[in-house]
Amino acid sequence: MPSPKTQPARGMRDFLPADVRKREYVISVIKQVYERYGFEPLETPAVENIETLMGKYGEEGNQLIFKILKRGEHEKTGAADLALRYDLTVPLARVVAQYQNELPKFFKRYQIQPVWRADRPARGRFREFYQCDVDVLGSQSMVVEAELIAAASDALVALGFKDFTIRLNHRQVLTGILDQAGVAPEKHGDALMALDKMDKVGPEGVARELRDRGIVDESAVRLMRFFEGLAGAQHALYLVDLVDAGTARAAYNADVLGRLVEFVGAHESGASGVDDLRQILQFSKASDVAARIKLDPTLARGLAYYTGAIIEINVADLAGSLGGGGRYDNLVGMFLGKDVAACGFSLGLERIIVVMSEREMFPPALVSSPADVMVTIWNEESVNESIALANELRSRGLRVELYPQADKIGNQIKYANARRIPYVAIVGEDERIKHEVAIRDMEREEQLRFSFEPTAKEKLFAWLNERKAGEAGGGIKPGA
């Protein structure tokens, strides 16, 4: 019986082989797409000095950071000097400050590593989870936003996603809207939290929350009028019956953009934000990502460090997002003393896997057997023949499990069957005398004999490799 003391720590997970294969598959697809966009890999330590992390994620973030006790004689003081990585963005900002002279002017990096948060565990929410981050440092051009959106979108398409929406907004536009509605600057946070719930609680709910949070009525009315007006733009999406989805989405975005221009008006940074959004849409036209982008002025995103565009990717059957990101031009400055333009996007590995598992999107070859062939051991005297055969098969590129001990041949075949290994090689008494190998096809339940004479054995290797290629069926080979 498994006892509590053999379970992983709360909110953490063990990944058995089939799980690891799924995770590695998703990671390898994402990496391949990111490399195609010219991004390079970066890795940082799991453990950071505690000062590096504290104060970067707001008060709630500080609470959720796992802190590591000092060691040796200091252990009993209960003081912490180190902490577990909480996201991949703050370590990136530290790295950019530390290695500024070694890094290129435009540092395009991806980073796929775990992070740890002492959140209350819930369905799909873990205390150790992977982020797949991609960031560009050093340019203020909206080409960066367009590339990040295209790369993340390409990664999801490569994984088989077809139906996601990329929501796009801008921090300065949000500020412009709130300023123009007359919301006092110190009430912006409250107003955003209320507006962020439009999808969940509807206009009446938001109106109520705006009042509860102390937004003056006149401002609330102006805000509500603007956001309810946006619903009108939705009509553009109904065009989808007449034109293609891309054209309908473009008409919708153009409509929203027009309403933003009108409402934000002469608000300087707001207007500049609207212009950024227009450019991002424009630069996205060159790829088929444009039809997936939806301007959404209600999108706020929690993190304090965003300064420009904000992005989130959603699918209908997942409450949270598959990923999100945005521009954060001031964060590196906290380490370097001078600001560096920066924009990034993060895909959530576990959420992607949750949706892919529920939708059965993994290639069938992934969940296949741990080996192409199992070599049996006939008896104590024939161990070396079996080892030699296994080694020869391996040297021909096959994945070979050697049954580890002499045993009844029936037990060995039963074992191969349970492990779903498609072929079993047997060198029994008769085969030894004749210099042959019997190959059992586990699915067809038939047995074939091959000569193992030096001049003839290539036929066996060729036959097995052919079968293997057939089994793989275009799926991705584990460990490839």
Q: How far is the CB of 395 from a copy of itself (least distance, A)?
A: 9
What's the rounded Cα separation, in Å, for the pair 220 and 294? 24
Q: How far is the CB of 159 from a copy of itself (least distance, A)?
A: 16
Part of the chain binding a copy of itself (CB under 8 A), chosen from 73-81, 161-169, 190-198, 451-459: 73-81
Q: Which of 125, 278, 394, 467 is close enough to bind a copy of itself by CB under 8 A?
A: 394
Q: How far is the CB of 231 from a copy of itself (least distance, A)?
A: 31
Question: If binding is defined by CB under 8 A, does position 79 make contact with a copy of itself?
Answer: yes
DSSP 3-state assignment of 479? coil
Q: How far is the CB of 130 from a copy of itself (least distance, A)?
A: 11
Helix (H) or strand (E) holding 130: strand 128-137
Q: How far is the CB of 118 from a copy of itself (least distance, A)?
A: 5
Part of the chain binding a copy of itself (CB under 8 A), chosen from 113-121, 250-258, 443-451, 456-464: 113-121
Phi and psi (nearest 5°) for 207?
A: -55, -45
Q: How far is the CB of 437 from a copy of itself (least distance, A)?
A: 15
What's the rounded Cα separation, in Å, for the pair 143 and 279? 8
Q: In the window 83-112, what residues touch a copy of itself (CB under 8 A)?
A: 84, 91, 94-95, 97-100, 102-106, 108-109
CA distances from 77 to 65, 69, 80, 479 (A): 19, 9, 9, 46
Contact 468, 398 (CB under 8 A): yes
Long-range contacts formed by 447-452: CB under 8 A, 24+ apart: 452/389, 452/427
DSSP 314: E
Question: If binding is defined by CB under 8 A, does position 377 make contact with a copy of itself?
Answer: yes
DSSP 119: P
What tokens were used for 14?
A: 């063990």
Q: Which residues have CB under 8 Å from 460's CB, separation 6+?
A: 437, 439, 450, 451, 452
Q: Which of 82, 90, 281, 460 is close enough to bind a copy of itself by CB under 8 A?
A: 82
DSSP 3-state assignment of 213? coil
Pairing of strands 446-451, 436-441: antiparallel
> Which residue number, 420 or 434, has a Cβ lying nearer to a copy of itself?
420
Contact 343, 310 (CB under 8 A): no
Question: If binding is defined by CB under 8 A, does position 292 make contact with a copy of itself?
Answer: no
The site map against a copy of itself for 32-71 (x = CB under 8 A) is x-xxxxxxxxxxxxxxxx-xx----------xx-xxxx-x
> Which residue number, 181 or 402, has a Cβ lying nearer to a copy of itself?
402
Q: Which of 243, 388, 448, 462 is close enough to bind a copy of itself by CB under 8 A?
A: 388
Q: How far is the CB of 373 from a copy of itself (least distance, A)?
A: 9
Q: Which of 124, 246, 333, 370 is close enough to bind a copy of itself by CB under 8 A?
A: 370
Q: In the window 396-435, what residues touch a copy of itself (CB under 8 A)?
A: 397-406, 415, 418-419
The b-or-e profile of 143-173 (16+ CB within 10 A means b, else e) is ebbbbbbbbbbbbbbebebeebbbbbbbbbb
Q: What Rg do the C-alpha atoms of the chain give, in angstroms?
A: 29
Part of the chain binding a copy of itself (CB under 8 A), chosen from 159-167, 261-269, 320-328, 376-384: 376-384
Name residue, tokens 């009315």. Answer: 221
Q: Which of 157, 261, 271, 336 is close enough to bind a copy of itself by CB under 8 A?
A: 336
What's the rounded Cα separation, in Å, for the pair 273 and 309? 8
DSSP 3-state assignment of 171? helix
Size of the site for a copy of itself (CB under 8 A): 118
Q: In the window 160-179, what residues touch a copy of itself (CB under 8 A)?
A: none
Pairing of strands 40-41, 436-441: unpaired
Part of the chain binding a copy of itself (CB under 8 A), chosen from 315-323, 350-358, 391-399, 446-454: 391-399
What's the rounded Cα separation, in Å, for the pair 284 and 461? 50
> Which residue number, 188 or 396, has a Cβ lying nearer to a copy of itself?
396
Phi and psi (nearest 5°) for 249?
A: -65, -40
Question: If binding is defined by CB under 8 A, does position 133 make contact with a copy of itself?
Answer: no
Measure the CA angle with vertex 203, ends 200 and 207; round to 5°: 110
> Which residue number, 100 or 247, has a Cβ lying nearer to a copy of itself?
100
> Which residue number, 141 or 330, has a Cβ lying nearer to a copy of itself?
141
Amino acid found at 439 = I
Q: How far is the CB of 282 from a copy of itself (least distance, A)?
A: 7
The site map against a copy of itself for 211-250 (x = CB under 8 A) is ----------------------------------------
> Which residue number, 415 or 461, has a Cβ lying nearer to a copy of itself?
415
Q: In the window 136-155, what residues touch a copy of itself (CB under 8 A)?
A: 136, 138-141, 143-144, 146-147, 150, 154
DSSP 3-state assignment of 34? helix
Question: If binding is defined by CB under 8 A, does position 468 make contact with a copy of itself?
Answer: no
Part of the chain binding a copy of itself (CB under 8 A), chosen from 18-26, 205-213, 220-228, 263-271: 18-26
Contact 245, 163 (CB under 8 A): no
What's the rounded Cα separation, in Å, for the pair 263 and 278? 15
> Greatest CA span in the chain, whole angstroms?
97
